[in-house]
Amino acid sequence: MKYRGYKDIGYHYYIELDGTVKEGRPIEMIGAHCKYHNKHSIGICLEGGLDRHGNEADTRTGGQEIALLNLLTRLKEDYPNALIVGHNTLNPDKKCPCFDTAEYRQLFP
C-alpha cells in the first residue's frame, strides 16, 4: 500500500486466494475503493484478477467463491437493501471485477 502511496487499505474486506477473509477498513469508516461511491458502499476485493501475462481475467478460486457467498449472505442480513455491483458497474473505466456480478445479484435479490 505504501509503495502505491496509500495510507491504508481502502477496502472493507479482502478475500485471499485460499478464501481467507481479511478485514480492512472498519465497516463504519468510509472506504477508499470506488471514486464517487465510497460514502455509501462496502468495498470487497478478491485477490487476483490477472492472468499470468498480466491481463485482466476471472481468477476466482473455489475458496474465494465460498468466502464471497458467505460474506455477501452476512452483509445482506445487515444491509438488506444493498445492491451488489462490481467496480466496473459504477465506473466504466474500471475492468474489475473480471466476472459478471449479476450472478450474485440474482442470489441476493
User: Per the domain annotation, does 30 fall within a domain?
Assistant: yes
pLDDT values of the chain reduced to their tens digit, one per residue, 109 residues: 555 566 789 999 999 999 999 999 999 999 999 989 999 999 999 999 999 999 999 999 999 999 999 999 999 999 999 999 999 999 888 889 999 999 999 998 7
Instruction: Please check whether residue 28 lies inside any domain of the structure.
Output: yes
Q: Is residue 46 within 8 Å of 15, Cβ to Cβ?
A: yes
Please list, in sequence order, all residues whose beta carbon lies within 8 angstroms of the beta carbon of residue 96, skipping any fewer than 6 positions away.
49, 56, 86, 87, 88
Q: What count of other Cβ atoms lies within 10 Å of the Cβ of residue 84? A: 19
**CATH code, domain carrying 92:** 3.40.80.10
Task: Decide if 8 is inside a domain.
Answer: no
pTM: 0.90
4 in a domain, yes or no?
A: no
Distance of CA 14 to the CA centre of its chain: 7
Q: State the alpha helices, DSSP H only, in the chain.
A: 62-78, 87-90, 102-107
Enclosing domain of residue 18: 13-107
pLDDT of residue 2: 52
- pLDDT number for residue 4: 56
Number of domains in the chain: 1
Report the distance separating Cα 57 and Cα 77, nearest Å.
Answer: 30
> What's residue 3's pLDDT?
55
Return the pLDDT at 45.
96
Note whether residue 27 is domain-resident.
yes
